Amino acid sequence: MSKFLKGTFILLAAGFVTKVLGFIYRIVLARSIGEEGVGLYMMAYPTFILVVTLVQLGLPVAISKNVAEAEAKGHYAEIKKILVVSLGITISLAILFTPALILLAPILSTTLFTDQRTFFPLIAITPAIPIIAISSVLRGYFQGRQNMQPSAISQILEQIVRITLIAVMTKAFLPYGVEYAAAAAMAASVLGELVSLIYLATMFKFKKRFKLRKNFFKFIQSGKKTFKDLMDIALPTTGSRMVGSIAWFFEPIVVVNSLALAGVIAVDATKQYGALTGYAMPLLMLPSFVTFSLATSLVPAISEANSRNNHKLIEYRLEQASRFVFLSGGLAVIVLYVLAEPLMELMYGSTKGSYFVRLMAPFFIIYYFQGPLQAVLQALNLARAAMINSLIGAVVKTAVIFILASQATFGITGAALGIIVGFVLVTFLHLATVLKKVSFSFHVRDYLKGFLVMGVAGWIGNWVFGHFLVDELLMMRVFLSLIVITLTYALLLAMMGLIKKDDLIRIPWIGKFFIR
């Protein structure tokens, strides 16, 4: 089995576990601090992500790509130089931006946000910045060597620590106010990141082929070319992520101020934004562990193929990823659309946000393609094009949110529609850019068959939920419908020839079982 497939399946398995744990974290968070607390948490979080993006500077992708190319040529001294230079950059930026966020937190909370209580979660999450800076370099190194296991396990450890601590910490601080409980939730995330870093550092110590600290500053001084090579990838990648991070940073500001123009008071705006981004969006983003796993594996795999001018392998990898995203994303869309309300009720004890799930779910099949397409662009040295695409999408998204959310007839629904318009536009722009560089075949008939299968499986699942076990527990009805949808979907895919024996046999450990 190729490193690409093995790495992808390791990340898929770990990504699934991480997403489930992350979702448990969201459920515990929502039940612990409520809709208003989640709103405060989600208002502060984009600011933190923006700072992290500045500190990482797009280096994880650049490290992954350059390490993969250096290892393919057997240049291990260059790998050390890549690590040393990257650590020097990220640590320096962390030293600069961590105190900057602490100093700016009072200004941000009082001037840009309509709710001043965002100050407390902003301060609480700040210590995570230097931790993530170092972790991102180590993850990029392991991913470049196509060893996905350390990254995967570190993510699982991080989530376990967060879940373990959040209930205790939020309960302890909730009597002082919901803003302190939101800050406690942020602090739990910091401790989770710290445990993740300790694990990554330990694994690096045991698996490295060189002494990192030996001649550390000498390698930095002689790393001018390495720095340039990293920046050629990192800066456009940072630009792309910066666009997304800045757009996300302004999103709560635009939303709450637009809702204010529509006549919604600040507390209600916080709650509505919490329902959209804290309840609905995590559920819609849950299947994205598939696309994240593929995107992470695609960067080194396609970089290696590109360095050898193996265009057929690039095309093959892209077709593999596209089919996998479509088939797995299709099942996710059906489940989310059909079972939106009962899933919300089971997870949050409330159906708030289910409307957004039903509204947005059909469009998320397009969103799931965005990550792999962006990874391909980065691997083919087209990160600048990806940045421009992201910028266009961010501007359009923000404009649509402001225009629609400021009208009383749309309100918070306008924000949801703006998010949809943004990611659909970016995905199609990425696709158009990839097609200019790589020629690969679109099997239109297979995609039409796939949409037909989605419709039939969704109709059957909806009918089963409405007619079977009506008097039983909600969990049993959801579980039965989920099983029926999954089995129907899989059987119809096989009958339509969309799942092939060659696809199944590549699945490690369980592929032969499915064939039988």
Whole-model pTM: value is: 0.68
Tokens of 279: 């309840």
Query: How far is the C-alpha of 78 from the C-alpha of 65, rounded, in Å?
Result: 13
Mean pLDDT of 181-200: 89
pLDDT digits (tens, 9 = 90+) for 147-162: 777 887 888 888 888 8
Is residue 5 very low, low, confident or very high in pLDDT (cuts 50, 70, 90)? low
Q: What is the pLDDT of residue 475?
A: 83
Mean pLDDT of 116-136: 87
Query: How far is the C-alpha of 169 from the C-alpha of 251, rounded, in Å?
Result: 28
Given a cut of 60, whether residue 508 has pLDDT beyond it is no
Q: Which residues contact 232 (CB under 8 A, 6 or more apart)?
A: 62, 381
Q: What is the pLDDT of residue 41?
A: 81
Give the percent of the chain with pLDDT over 70.
86
Query: How far is the C-alpha of 494 from the C-alpha of 23, rounded, in Å?
Result: 30
pLDDT digits (tens, 9 = 90+) for 372-410: 888 888 778 787 888 888 889 988 998 998 898 888 888
pLDDT digits (tens, 9 = 90+) for 445-467: 888 888 999 999 999 988 988 88
Given a cut of 70, whether residue 510 has pLDDT beyond it is no
pLDDT digits (tens, 9 = 90+) for 240-270: 667 777 777 778 778 878 888 887 776 777 7
Query: How far is the C-alpha of 500 from the C-alpha of 460, rounded, in Å?
Result: 24
The larger pLDDT score, comparing residue 62 to residue 96, is at 96
Other CB atoms within 10 A of residue 509 CB: 8
Asked if 216 and 84 count as a contact pair (C-beta separation under 8 A), the reply is yes
Tokens of 62: 């650049």
Given a cut of 70, whether residue 4 has pLDDT beyond it is no
Query: How far is the C-alpha of 40 from the C-alpha of 45, rounded, in Å?
Result: 9
Asked if 186 and 124 count as a contact pair (C-beta separation under 8 A), the reply is yes
- Spell out the domain ranges in the chain: 3-442, 445-516
Mean pLDDT of 473-485: 87
